[in-house]
């Protein structure tokens, strides 16, 4: 999978998980939902997301990057 797909998958999991936790544990988990939403909003304008740094550490490539086999 490419980085863009991972980003959408992780954001979706974070949002659903925080919504579940806000119902079960505390409504303060909605702040985490807002944080993820704001990150998605700013990444729409800047084409950069903090999660991209972590995904690159794990070797995930962007759609435009080719894998070079050595």
**In the predicted structure, residue 1 carries a pLDDT above the cut 90:** no
Nearest to 32 by CA among 45, 24, 21, 41: 21
- Give the whole-angstrom CA distance, residue 18 versus residue 2: 24
Query: Contact at 8 Å (CB) between 28 and 39?
Result: no
Question: Each residue of 3-33: pLDDT tens digit?
Answer: 889 999 999 999 999 999 999 999 999 999 9
- What is the chain's mean pLDDT, rounded? 89
The pLDDT assigned to 46 comes to 93
């Amino acid at each position: 999978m490419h980085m863009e797909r991972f980003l959408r998958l992780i954001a979706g999991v974070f949002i659903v998980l925080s919504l579940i936790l806000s119902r079960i544990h505390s409504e303060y988990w909605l702040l985490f939902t807002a944080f993820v939403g704001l990150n998605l909003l700013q990444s729409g304008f800047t084409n950069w997301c903090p999660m991209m740094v972590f995904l690159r550490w794990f070797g995930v490539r962007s759609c435009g990057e080719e894998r070079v086999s050595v």
